[in-house]
Every structure is written in structure tokens, then in C-alpha cells.
Amino acid sequence: MCGIVGYIGEEQAAPFLLKGLEKLEYRGYDSAGLCLNDGGKLVVKKSKGKLQELKILTNNGDTLHGTVGIGHTRWATHGEPSDVNAHPHLSESGRFAVVHNGIIENYLPLREMLTEKGIVFRSNTDTEVIAQLFEYYDQGNLMDTVIRVLSKLDGSYALGVLCRDHPDEIIAVRKESPLIIGLGEHENYIASDIPAILNKTRNIYRLENDEIAVIKRDSVQVFNLDKEPIHKELEVVDWDIAAAEKGGYEHFMFKEIMEQPKAFHDTITPHLKDGRVVLDEIHLTADQIRSFRKINILACGSAYHVGVVAKYVFEKILRIPVEADLASEFRYRDPIIDDKTLTVVISQSGETADTKEAMKEAKRRGSHVISIVNVLGSAIAKESNDVIYTLAGPEIAVATTKAYSTQLAVIYLMAIYFGDVLGKITDTEYQYYLQELQAIPEKIQQILEHKETVQYLASKLFHCNDVFFIGRNIDYALSLEGSLKLKEISYIHSEAYAAGELKHGTISLIEDGTLVIALATHEELIGKIVSNMKEVQARGAYVLCLTTEKHQELKSTSQSTLFIPSTCDMMLPSLAVVPLQLFAYYVAALKGCDIDKPRNLAKSVTVE
């Protein structure tokens, strides 16, 4: 989730750009850069690492001159974090400079086309393709050039563009990635989020998809792709700066919960082409895939809970034995693993120490390793045989939400892809799974639109001291994550149990007022979980049931009920986890907990 800021006015731009980027640091980044138009020449300074490195490089902006400029903080998706891959990117002759948020899905064929035309690329990014396209298609009319370039791009983008030949303007473009325009006195601004410009103005325009803005010192004009002018409604921001850094949300965790539809969509979209799942990152042949006799999944924390879901999904779809292992235990149990075992490693940061060491043990024993990580160029990604990246963007809150959801998305992609290769799913099943996969973001959004229902239940139940999550099959796998979310941010004692295990000891802990959250989404086992609900109710428990919309009859078997849309069984966790995340969030908020930074926890565990 990169950050963009731009300035055109009468003051020196660089100091403002640096301050603006500083306000966007919360978004997460691995490098930063500036480009200024200095007397008809585009001058770029950029650096890998923290913004402080760029400040040192430019003496806090004093060594860069010009009153028109753009800046960027980058979260790597294409090309490892480096000075060269940092934004802004210049075209070959230096006539155009571009900063970009988003992903250009067709950058490879575009890069190949431009390379064949003799254009030399400096970086490994998708963004440099945009800069080179601007120069390639430019015939003197900048607006025509912008429209021609946009017609060639597939994917999402927010762009800030400088042209050496147009020293008194900035071009801003938006498609599926946010971009705002700030309005000042004899100066104007662009930014990917409000905090970057809030010290200068509270008057903004929000660009919509396929809108092009021409920004000058004393004017802002917005056009559509037919070059027709668009009237923009002025918005006056009334947030304080602290709130604005969270996009208007009180906590990063809530913001990240709300971002899950987009994160899921962004993760699956690059892998869906012509009605098929494509995993270009995997170098395994079909024969190699067929040779595996077992799958081992290694992970910690919430990533391990994704692994438990994956065990149920893979075994049902692929008919291969699967073990989901806590990475911290795996290498100490003398595991039975060899070159006929596929190892799937899951880590949000790609630096989790226990997971990294477990992966090394699996490789040492001859296993092929596919990692699922969110950080390009991380240690686990580099040491894996293959890697599939989630595109969740950075998470600020310690308690993961959208990273968990995007990891699930990759599991579904793998299940469909491997199931097809192994001949375990029919063409009809393939198309059904694909249809349901593509519908998940919209269904998550539907759940989020009814979040007040979850908030109301949290207000009734947040005084509880003990909570038990129960479920069967894939619902049990999900109960692990629901329980963890609640305990890590609200500090309430919470446990997850396979529902059938309650009677083997744990039911002795149920007493009057104990909250039991019963997950009842798995169609084949609804009757079983209803019996478990009645068992705990008979002992005084308050039951909150989470089920699908078609099971309205479960209202009569529990004190409270939450409903989610229906989907295929293997994808139910992607929907059911959202109310559980919201419930944990609202309970923690009512208890006054430090939601984004819960006590004793770190975002990335890089030591054993």
C-alpha cells in the first residue's frame, strides 16, 4: 500500500513532499523517492529503506530545487526493495516521471513490446512500464498521450505524472486505487490519503475511476477519458490529523477489516485468466505435482489457522494426506518427510523465525517448498523453491485480518489448480469453484454492510470472562482463528474446541452465563453442531450461533444468531471469519483495550 504526494505552487516543493510522505509512513513501505522539475529538468532522488535515508540524501529537501514535484513511498510488489526499484520512475530520455500505487497486471507483455522497440529498462517494476509508455506514445498533446497510455493498462493504479515539457502542471489519474486533490491558495496538491496534505488544506476533490486531473498552481481541471470536463464536488475534511492517518477509522484494525474485499480481490485477480486459475509463480510440472504423496503445511499463529483450513480443503479436493504443523514444533519432532512431500509454508511477514527454520528442515529432507507470503524479497520468499504472494498490502494492526483472508484466497487458488492437474475435479466443479471464488469479495462486503448487528451483540456480551468457540470440520479450523482474535485484543480468556470433544472433559467448565460461540456453516454437520449447542445450553451457556442465511431455523436453537451468505463449503471460512473479527474488535473497543498494539505482542515474530 504505497503512498503518493505531489505539490505545485510558489514554495520549494521538496520539504513539503518529505513531510507529506512522513504522514503516509503508517501505510508501510520499503523505499522512498522524490522527483522535482528544476528549470525544465526532472531531477530524481530515491533511496531504499526508511524515509530518514531520503531526508539525509537530500538534506531534508534543501538540495532539491523546484516548485513542482511528486513523491512516493513504495511497498514492493514487482521487483525487490532497492534504490533502482524505488519510485519515481523516469522514461528513457528523462522526459516523463511517474509515481504509481497499484498493480499493472499486463506489464510483462507491455515490457516485452517496448523492449522489442529498443527501449532499455532500468528497474524490475511494473511502474517503469508506465513511464516508458508515456514517452513511446507522446506526440506533443499531453492529454492525448495520457488517454492512449491508459488504454493499454490493465489493473489498478493511482498515478502522479510530471512531464519535462510541461513544467507548470501535474497529471493525476485514478483507477481502483485512491487519489485525492488538495486545493490551496496559489498551490495545489495530490495525495493517496488525506494525512499527507492536512497541514496545508482541508479542501479536497476525490478522483473517481478513469478520471484525469490537470493540476496547476491556480487551477484544477478534471476530465473523463473522452476529454470531457467533469464537475467535482468540494469536500471539506473535518477529521483531526490522528484520525486521518487511519483513513477516518478509529483504529487500523478496523480499517484493515474493511479493506478485506479489495485485498481478497487483488490477491486472486492476477491468477485468473481466460476462465482458468494460473499460478505462473510455481515451476512444478504436472508430473511433479502428481508425484507428491503428502502435503505438509508449516506456519505459526493465524497463518497456522489458515493451514488447518487448508488441511480440510486439500484433503477433500485433492485426496492427498495433509498435515498442518506448528512450525515451532515441526523440526523438533523428527518429521517423516522426503522428496515425495510438498511443503506449504505460510507467513505474512516472510520473516517468522520458527517458520523459516522449519522450512529449512523440510528442504534439508528433500521436500519441495511453496511459500505464501505478503512481503516481496523476504527471507522465506527467497529461500523457497516457489512463492505465491498475497497482495494484502501492509498491515499496521498487530492482530491480522486481511493477511489471514488473502492467505485463504491463495489456498483456494491452489486447491482449484492442483485439483485440476490431478484430475480430481470435473469441469463443472471447476467452473463452480471459480464462480464462488470471484464472488467472495462482494459477499464479504455484504457482511461488512451489516456490521452494526455484530456491534450490538458485542455490547450485550463484552462483560463475559470466558468464551468457548466450537465447530466441526472446517468450522473447527475457523474457530481457532475466532478465538485467537478475541483473546489477543480483548484479553478475555477464550478457547477453541472441536465440538465433539466438549463431552470429553471441557464441558465441565460450562456454567451459567458462559459464552459459547457455535460455528454452524458446514452443511453436512449442522445437525451435529445443533446437538452440541443444546448440550451447553442445558448447562447454562449463552449460545451465539454463526451460520449461513439459508439456515434461519437455527434462530430457535440459540440465544443470538449471526448470518453470512452461502458459498461452497471450502470457502465458508472467508465469510465466517469477518463477523468473528468484528466481534473481537467491538468487544475490545468496549473494554477500552489498545486494539492496534495489544500488550506483549509484536507484528512480526523474528526470534524463536
* pLDDT tens for each residue of 182-211: 999 999 999 988 888 988 999 999 898 899
Q: How far apart are CA 132 and CA 573, in angstroms?
A: 43
Question: Which residues is 285 bridged to in the sheet?
Answer: none
**pLDDT (0 to 100) of residue 604:** 55
Q: Which of 59, 57, 116 has the alpha carbon at shortest distance from 86?
A: 57
Residue type, 481: E
Mean pLDDT of the chain: 92
Instruction: Express each pLDDT in 296-339 by its tens digit.
Output: 999 999 999 999 999 999 999 999 999 999 999 998 888 999 99
Q: What whole-number percentage of the chain has pLDDT above 90? A: 75
**pLDDT (0 to 100) of residue 606:** 46
Residue 451 and residue 564 in contact, taking contact as beta carbons nearer than 8 Å: no
Mean pLDDT value across residues 137-151:
94
* Neighbour count for residue 88 (Cβ, 10 Å): 29
Phi, psi of 73 (to 5 degrees): -115, 130
Is 450-591 a domain of CATH 3.40.50.10490?
A: yes
Q: How far apart are CA 85 and CA 531, in angstroms?
A: 58
Does position 240 have pLDDT exceeding 70, yes or no? no
Q: Which of 120, 174, 388, 423 has the alpha carbon at shortest distance from 268?
A: 388
Largest interatomic CA distance in the chain: 80
Taking only Cα atoms into account, the Rg of the chain, rounded to an integer number of angstroms, comes to: 26
The CATH H-level (homologous superfamily) assignment of domain 254-445 is Glucose-6-phosphate isomerase like protein; domain 1 (3.40.50.10490)
CATH, range 3-244: 3.60.20.10
Phi, psi of 169 (to 5 degrees): -155, 155
Relative orientation angle of helices 142-152 and 127-137, to the nearest 10 degrees: 130
Mean pLDDT value across residues 79-89:
89
What cell numbers appear for 248 in the block?
477516518
Q: Give the start-to-end residue ranges of the domains of the chain.
A: 3-244, 254-445, 450-591
Q: Which of 341, 340, 339 has the alpha carbon at shortest distance from 366?
A: 339
Does position 239 have pLDDT exceeding 70, yes or no? no
Q: How far apart are CA 375 and CA 281, in angstroms?
A: 15
Instruction: Express each pLDDT in 357-376 by its tens digit.
Output: 999 999 999 999 999 999 77
Instruction: Express each pLDDT in 542-574 by its tens digit.
Output: 999 999 999 999 988 899 999 999 999 999 999
Q: Which of 376, 406, 403, 381 has the alpha carbon at shortest distance from 125?
A: 376
Residue positions annotated with a catalytic role: 2, 603
Q: How far apart are CA 424 and CA 67, in angstroms?
A: 62
Question: Which residues is 74 bridged to in the sheet?
Answer: 31
Helices (H), 491-548: 526-537
Number of helices and strands in the chain (H, E):
19, 26
Q: Which of 171, 211, 212 has the alpha carbon at shortest distance from 188?
A: 171
Instruction: Express each pLDDT in 491-514 by its tens digit.
Output: 999 999 998 888 888 888 888 889
Whole-structure pTM value: 0.76
| Whether residue 270 has a cis bond before it, omega within 30° of 0 | no
Cα distances (Å, whole numbers) of residue 190 to 207, 224, 345, 378, 453:
10, 18, 40, 31, 37
Q: What whole-number percentage of the chain has pLDDT above 70? A: 97
pLDDT band, residue 607 (cuts 50/70/90): very low
Helices (H), 85-175: 107-116, 127-137, 142-152
- Domain 254-445 shares a fold with domain 450-591: yes
Instruction: Express each pLDDT in 453-480 by its tens digit.
Output: 999 999 999 999 999 999 999 999 999 9
Instruction: Express each pLDDT in 263-284 by its tens digit.
Output: 999 999 999 999 999 998 899 9
**Are β-strands 341-347 and 368-373 bridged in parallel, bridged antiparallel, or unpaired?**
parallel
Q: For the sheet containing 515-520, what is the strand order?
A: 493-498, 466-471, 515-520, 542-548, 560-564
Does position 378 have pLDDT exceeding 50, yes or no? yes
Phi, psi of 37 (to 5 degrees): -90, 105
Residue 435 and residue 268 in contact, taking contact as beta carbons nearer than 8 Å: no
